[in-house]
Amino acid sequence: MSLPDAPPIVAILRGVKPDEIVEIAGALVDAGIGYIEIPLNSPEPLVSIGKLCEAYGDKALCGAGTVLTPQAVDDVAAVGGKLIVTPNIDADVISRAVELGLTVMPGFSTPTEAFVAVKAGAKALKLYPAGSFGPGHLKAVRDVLPKDIAIYAVGGVGAANLKPWLDIGVAGIGVGGELYRPGYTAAEVGERARALVAAWTAQTAG
């Protein structure tokens, strides 16, 4: 799960509406964000995902979050989504996404859950909610997982506390409210995204 010239930051646009998604996504892409998910508990999410993919599918890996069923995977794929993010481990959801050739990032908290996801075909995992568990928990889990599995920290991770997560080797992060909340303008989102990308770049330089 990597894009050239884009830091491994997934923008989570929970609550975004179809009439604003293209402008919001444009601000993110212009700021250097290359991964965008629209949670399926947002207003008319499939409409927004379709617009997102049509406008920026060639510039960013776009798709859905809070994906809970294999049918939802199919629905997202049908509108052009290539990224499937879940808050939990459901082997049927993971295997369906893999079958369709999509990038899937299931959410886990324990080693048991992580290994279920890996067995189902996941190559990237997200510790969620990362802020509740902390870097020490993730470091311990990483020690027993296959080295080629990318782990993202999502939930409570942002510009202000990147270093401890980077120090234990996270592949990337997912960020929601620090980047977007309902009511934020595209200009506000762009400013927040530039600050986050700058923080990531500063912490990973050298």
Taking only the tens place, the pLDDT of each residue in 139-180 is 999 999 999 999 999 999 999 999 999 999 999 999 999 999
Evaluate whether residue 75 is within a structural domain: yes
182 found inside a domain: yes
Give the span between the Cα atoms of 198 and 48, in whole angstroms.
Answer: 27
Calculate the CA dihedral of residues 155, 161, 162, 167 and round it to 10 degrees: -110
> Model's pTM, two decimal places?
0.96
pLDDT tens digit string along 14-60? 999 999 999 999 999 999 999 999 999 999 999 999 999 999 999 99
Q: How many domains does the chain fold into?
A: 1
In a domain? residue 4: no
The token pair that represents 162 in the structure block: 């990147």
2 located within any domain:
no
Q: Which residues sit opposite 62 in a β-bridge? A: 36
Q: In sequence order, what are the residues at sequence separation of 6 or more whose Cβ sits closer than 8 angstroms to the Cβ of residue 107? A: 85, 86, 87, 88, 89, 125, 126, 127, 128, 154
Tell me the C-alpha distance between 127 and 42, whole Å.
22
Is residue 3 in some structural domain?
A: no
8-state DSSP, 121: T
Report yes or no on 31 lying in a domain: yes
How large is the average pLDDT for residues 2-13? 83
Q: Which residues are catalytic?
A: 37, 126
154: CATH: 3.20.20.70
Q: Is residue 97 part of a domain?
A: yes
Give residue 195's domain range: 9-204
Tens of pLDDT, residues 89-127: 999 999 999 999 999 999 999 999 999 999 999 999 999
